Amino acid sequence: MLLKVENLTKRFGGLVAVSDVSFAVSKGEIIGIFGPNGSGKTTLLNLLAGLLPPSGGRVLWKGEDIAGARPNIIASAGVIKTFQNPQLFSELTVFEHVMIASFLAFTRMKDHSRWRSFLWPGRTESILRERAERALALCRLQDASLKRAAELSYGEEKMLGVAMAMMCEPEILLLDEPASGLGNDEIHNLESVLRDLRAHGTTLCIIDHKVAFLAKFADQAIALQQGCKIAEGRPYDVLADPAVVKAYLGRSHA
Amino acid sequence: MKSLLLLLIPLYVLPLVVHSDVVLTILIFTFLLGILAVGFNIVFGGAGQLTMFHAAAFGIGSYVTFLSMLRFGIPFWLGYCVAVVIVVLVSIVIGWICFKFRLKEFYFAVVTLAFAELCRLVALNWTSVTNGTLGMLVLEKPTIWLPGSGIVRIEQTTSWYFLSLVALSAILVFSVLLMRSWIGRNFSAIRLNEDLAQTLGIDTFRYKLLAFTISNVIASFAGALYGFYTGYIEPAYLAVTQSLDAIAMVLLGGVSTIMGPVVGALVLTSLPHLIELPAEMRVAVYGMILILVILLMPRGVVGLFRRPRHAA
């Protein structure tokens, strides 16, 4: 089991944003987490990525508890998160973004002495550049690589977030509403990128409130409502679950 | 890197053409204060941390180098090594406190300023060691080994010119190497979006501490040379005005550019000599020029010609 979440809980004062959520993800799997706005999806992802400290519960990554660890420690362990509202270095170009994101890949290059690459960066740099180009191509951004982040469309910004995450060589990629705010063409584009990632063998954890979008990809789905897990299983079974129908439509169809 | 070396070559041949002591002296001050400004630009223009501690590091550099030469009878460069050890320790302690408490921007500036004042007060009041307000006369000179002529004392203006130019060149080459390496890229990431930097696996605490320490060590180098060049060390070296001067140089020349701090240092050290007015008027005119330039050229003199240098 790659990632195992046990009784994860987050309280903000009196509000319980995530309540006693448990699930598990195995390698190569795509897990979809959905729920209406305010159901605690983003909080859950932030807990996994270390952006928020949990109030209780455990997050086991390859058997080791990473709950409450600092985000950079979690990232270097292979858990990478993208943001719902793209977080960028606005004055840099797309290519520079991906090069900054190459840091983890760089630290993992065993045959490259850090001090040699400080004085003669050429060889290391060309390897990282090649990888950066591949990550951009994967996210269909190769033509935008010299654009500044401030000139990108919203859809391109989101894809740049994915490209940076891919550059970190994630073992599991946590995608926070990748489809929100995208036009139809861009969603189409995103779907093909996600298909590529799946073919790549990357484990994905996607949260979204667009149920139909998730159901197409996920091997396993979890439905959240008010911070609680209300259903779990294969996507279409979860969608048909009376509790889920009730949460989404406000009444029971049963 | 190539353009940097091309810019520096004319400075190496200048003393062959120009024999004026005034011009060379202004350039020596430019180079020494330029080193301080380049150091500040690494932590501010690089990692985006507005430190006010660099004047203290500058002062510690000159005091500790000189005092350890007096106490232990060691040469200048060994004395400077003692200063480096102390500056590194001080930087780690202060940086650790500031960055653990996640102090940013003005909060960071105020706390580092408080630590700098603390250091200045020590220099001012520990009279038995530092001679207090009176400061100390430095009669010793740095020595260097030159092939052919053995150990040489740095005394004449031209020797100081070359020593400070070589020191500045070395610091500039180091800062180019640093800023284009993974370290410089991580600094840029921290300056532009610290939260994002962390989720990309960058240990922002460690890299901020590194930037702070490197810049203080460079500032202490400038201070050590400065004290021995002027032959006088006083608590004013650690004063806030000294920090502000370096900040003005960086803003004037261009933040996050390699040559910007040096251009700023040149303008600020030569300007007072170029304005031929009574002393009081001169300061006012000087201040006004500074304000106008910063308002009209938000990216500094070098910024007029190129966009800020980032991780490329």
Give kind and range of the element (H or E) at residue A39: none
Beta-carbon separation of A117 and B198 below 8 A: no
Here the contacts of B152-158 (C-beta below 8 Å, separation 24 or greater) are: B154/B228, B157/B21, B157/B24, B157/B25, B157/B28, B158/B15, B158/B24
Q: Is residue B155 part of a domain?
A: yes
For A137-158, give the DSSP string.
HHTT-GGGTTSBGGGS-HHHHH
Q: How far is CA B222 from the centre of its chain?
A: 6
Spell out which residues of chain A touch residue B308, defining contact as CB-CB under 8 Å.
91
Q: What range does the domain containing B53 cover?
A: 2-301
Size of interface A-B (CB pairs under 8 A): 83
The CA distance from B78 to B85, in Å, is 11
Instruction: Judge whether B306 lies within some domain.
Output: no
- A52 sits in which H/E element: none
The DSSP call for residue A55 is S
pTM: 0.91
Per-residue pLDDT of chain A (254 residues; tens, 9 = 90+): 899 999 999 999 888 899 899 999 999 899 999 888 888 888 999 999 999 999 999 999 998 999 889 999 999 999 999 998 889 998 899 999 999 999 998 988 877 678 888 888 888 889 999 999 999 998 889 898 899 988 999 989 999 999 999 999 899 999 998 888 888 888 888 888 888 888 888 899 999 877 777 888 888 999 888 888 888 888 888 888 888 888 776 654 44
Task: Give A20 to chain B, closest Cα distance, Å.
Answer: 25
The pLDDT tens digits for B72-97 are 999 999 999 999 999 999 999 999 99
Let me know if residue B309 belongs to a domain.
no
| B307 in a structural domain | no
- Domain regions of chain A by residue span: 3-78+170-249
d(C-alpha A46, C-alpha A53), whole Å: 9
Question: Using one digit for the tens of pLDDT, what is the confidence trace for B97-146?
Answer: 999 998 888 899 999 999 999 999 999 999 898 988 898 999 888 888 88
pLDDT at B57: 97
Looking at the structure of chain B, the number of domains it has is: 1
The listed CATH number (3.40.50.300, 3.30.300.250, 3.40.1190.20, 3.40.630.10) that belongs to domain A3-78+170-249: 3.40.50.300
Q: List residues in chain B touching A: CB distance below 8 A.
A: 177-178, 180-183, 185-186, 188-189, 192-193, 195-204, 308, 310-312
| Record: contact A92-B310, CB cut-off 8 A | yes
Residue-wise pLDDT for B185-235, tens only, equals: 999 999 999 999 999 999 999 999 999 999 999 999 999 999 999 999 999
Task: Give the integer Cα–Cα distance in Å for A234 and A220.
Answer: 5
